[in-house]
């Protein structure tokens, strides 16, 4: 089969690579000339293990990229364009999806199987995509919704190993969708309609956001009592048969930072109790940490203006490694540091110096981060940071504070060096405070 993929962002480019690796001929289309140019050279514009290798080996033979799909060529057209959420209204913008549907209708034959892969509010495939196809093709439409559910860093494996959920416009559409995805994945899960498949994706991601938010809630409560949230969570989970509690941590990325708002947009007259509040809590966490770092620095140094803070980890997560800056905590933190007069330096094994500068930081080496800073803030848990031996990094001039968000450093070694050690929800009281 010959497949078309419209939209070569993270979802589209990983799907293109996975399909090509399974022997499909794939035509990718994207409106960005820079994306097309990079992929045409056999290089990926996003970091994802394995994708570069496939493009390097297959581009120009079984993988082709252009601004549009070739006329009347593909058997299946997958729409994987972005559906961003407006920063002010928090409403999803579906203009890219409608444009992609028009493009597919104009370049593909009637009866071509169309797959909506983008994350959308419930009802969108029927309300936005279907009319564009019927306007051009009449009733000769096959349409399915098959949500993307991969994790960054493992996408090529998960596209094959994770069950692919498929909901169809009608029985003919559903059977065509099942046949297509059976050529990619081990398991296909058919559901009764387009809307069910749309809600599956939102349910998965909002549940994840909710689970993480509860770990963050525990951390913030533990902090009020000078307790160790990791000790609380570990003890709560030991041989206990109910679902494990999640460790606290920042919750960002392209999906979890926007899909809850798409779920809220899908709720109709119902006002959800949990989804919005969980997202609000997860968005509050970076603000709370930034304000805590500023407060602790002020207490330790007597003031904050003119101090230097080294931030380790600018991508939204460290494991699996990624260079994705969508939903990164540093974007929320920087205005707080700037208002306090703190100079922020930055290091990330995956993120370029130019990106660090774009977010307002000054690139710094890992060694300099510990010897030329008043404080160090570890934001993500990249393996390079997990491997740090703190004693080996310290010089005569030492930071007053190390805020280790994920608690991946040797806290005892930090404290033995005379440095204040803290983490998410972890602000242990001094002995004098406890005895008093």
Give the whole-angstrom CA distance, residue 304 versus residue 342: 6
CB atoms closer than 10 angstroms to residue 359? 17
Report whether pLDDT(430) > 90. Answer: no
Same domain, 284 and 187: no
Q: Please, where are the H alpha helices in 255-328?
A: 259-265, 275-301
Q: Looking at residues 366-395, what average pLDDT do you find?
A: 95
Q: What is the pLDDT of residues 128-156, one digit of tens each?
A: 999 999 999 999 999 999 999 999 999 99
Across 269-373, where does the E strand assignment appear? 308-312, 343-347, 362-363
- Locate 169 and state its tokens: 């416009």
Number of domains in the chain: 2
State which of 195, 214, 244 marks the end of a domain: 195
The 8-class DSSP code of residue 41 comes to T
Reported as a single tens digit per residue, the pLDDT across 239-293 is 999 889 999 999 999 999 999 999 999 999 999 999 999 999 999 999 999 999 9
Asked, for residue 71, whether it belongs to a domain, the answer is yes
Tell how far CA 233 is from the center of its chain.
24
What whole-number distance in Å separates Cα of residue 222 and Cα of residue 203?
29
- Given the DSSP bridges, would you call strands 142-145 and 2-6 parallel, antiparallel or unpaired? unpaired
Q: Which of 168, 195, 222 is the last residue of a domain?
A: 195
Query: Three-class SS of residue 258?
Result: coil
> What pLDDT was estimated at residue 436?
44
- In total, the chain counts a number of residues equal to 436
Tokens of 118: 């983008």
Report the mean per-residue pLDDT for the chain.
96
Given a cut of 90, is residue 101 above it in pLDDT? yes
| Pairing between β-strand 164-168 and β-strand 142-145 as defined by DSSP bridges | antiparallel
Helix, strand, coil in percent for the chain, rounding step 5: 45, 15, 40
Kindly list the strands in the beta sheet with 420-422, ordered across the sheet, starting from the edge strand earlier in the chain: 362-363, 343-347, 308-312, 375-378, 401-404, 420-422
Are 324 and 382 in contact by the 8 Å Cβ rule? The answer is no
The single-letter DSSP state of residue 360 is: T
Contact 14, 150 (CB under 8 A): yes
Inside any domain, residue 411 = yes
- The string of pLDDT tens digits covering residues 353-376 is 999 999 999 999 999 999 999 999
What average pLDDT score do residues 16-32 get?
98
Which pLDDT does position 435 carry in this prediction? Answer: 41
What is the extent of the structural domain holding 36?
2-195
> For the purposes of burial, counting CB atoms within 10 Å of the CB of 436, is it exposed (0-12), middle (13-18) or buried (19 or more)?
exposed
**314 and 408 share one domain:** yes
The per-residue pLDDT for 395 is: 86
Structure tokens that stand for 154 in this block: 């493992």
| Residue that terminates a domain, selected from 195, 215, 237 | 195
The pLDDT value given to residue 243: 81
Task: Encode 250-261: b = buried (16+ Cβ within 10 Å), e = exposed.
Answer: bbbbbbbbbbbb
90: helix, strand or coil: coil
- Inside any domain, residue 26: yes
Same domain for 17 and 156? yes
Measured CA distances, 36 to 6, 29, 318 (Å):
12, 8, 28
Residue 31 forms part of a structural domain:
yes
For residue 433, pLDDT over 80 is answered with no
Is the same domain home to 191 and 285? no
* pLDDT (mean) for 404-432: 90
Give the contacts of 419 (CB within 8 A, at least 6 positions apart): 398, 399, 400, 401, 402
Quote the pTM value: 0.93
Domain membership of residue 323 (yes or no) is yes
Is residue 432 pLDDT above 80, yes or no? no
Rounded Cα distance between 98 and 333, Å, is 35
CATH number for position 103: 3.40.50.720
Confidence of residue 167 (pLDDT cuts 50, 70, 90): very high
Residue 300, domain member (yes or no): yes
Q: How far apart are CA 44 and CA 260, in angstroms?
A: 29
End-to-end CA distance of the chain: 74
Verify that 40 and 166 share a domain, yes or no. yes
In a domain, 56, yes or no: yes
354 in a domain, yes or no? yes
């Amino acid at each position: 089969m010959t497949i078309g993929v419209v939209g070569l962002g993270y979802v589209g480019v990983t799907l293109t690579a996975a399909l090509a690796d399974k022997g499909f001929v794939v035509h990718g289309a994207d409106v960005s000339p820079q994306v097309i140019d990079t992929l045409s050279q056999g290089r990926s514009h996003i970091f994802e293990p394995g994708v570069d290798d496939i493009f390097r080996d297959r581009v120009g033979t079984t993988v082709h990229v252009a601004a549009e799909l070739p006329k009347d060529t593909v058997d299946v057209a997958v729409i994987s364009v972005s559906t961003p959420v407006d920063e002010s209204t928090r409403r999803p913008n579906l203009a890219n999806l409608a444009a992609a549907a028009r493009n597919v209708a104009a370049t593909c034959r009637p009866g071509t199987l169309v797959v909506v892969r983008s994350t959308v509010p419930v009802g969108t495939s029927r309300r936005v995509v279907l009319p564009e196809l019927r306007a051009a093709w009449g009733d000769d439409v096959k349409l399915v919704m098959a949500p993307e559910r991969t994790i960054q860093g493992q996408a090529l494996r998960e596209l094959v190993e994770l069950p692919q959920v498929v909901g169809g416009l009608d029985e003919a559409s559903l059977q065509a969708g099942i046949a297509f995805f059976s050529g990619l994945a081990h398991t296909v899960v058919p559901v009764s309609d387009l809307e069910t498949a749309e809600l599956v994706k939102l349910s998965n991601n909002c549940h994840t956001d909710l689970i993480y938010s509860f770990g963050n809630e525990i951390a913030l409560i533990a902090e009020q009592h000078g307790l160790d949230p990791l000790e609380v969570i570990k003890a709560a989970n030991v041989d206990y048969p109910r679902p494990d509690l999640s460790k606290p941590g920042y919750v960002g990325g392209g999906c979890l930072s926007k899909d809850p708002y798409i779920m809220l947009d899908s709720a109709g007259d119902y006002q959800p109790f949990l989804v919005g509040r969980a997202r609000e809590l997860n968005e509050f966490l970076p603000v709370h940490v930034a304000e805590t770092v500023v407060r602790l620095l002020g207490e330790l140094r007597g003031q904050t203006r003119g101090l230097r803070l080294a931030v380790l980890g600018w991508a939204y997560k460290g494991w699996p490694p990624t260079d994705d800056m969508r939903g990164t905590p540093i974007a929320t933190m920087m205005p707080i540091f700037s208002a306090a007069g703190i100079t922020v330096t930055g290091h990330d094994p995956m993120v370029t110096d130019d990106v660090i500068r774009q977010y307002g930081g000054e690139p710094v080496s890992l060694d300099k981060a510990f010897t030329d800073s008043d404080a160090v803030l570890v934001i993500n848990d990249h393996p390079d940071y997990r491997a740090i031996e703190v004693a080996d990094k310290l010089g005569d001039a030492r930071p007053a504070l190390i805020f280790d968000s994920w608690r991946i450093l040797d806290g005892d070694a930090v404290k033995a060096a005379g440095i204040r050690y803290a983490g998410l929800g972890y602000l242990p009281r001094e002995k004098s405070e406890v005895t008093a």
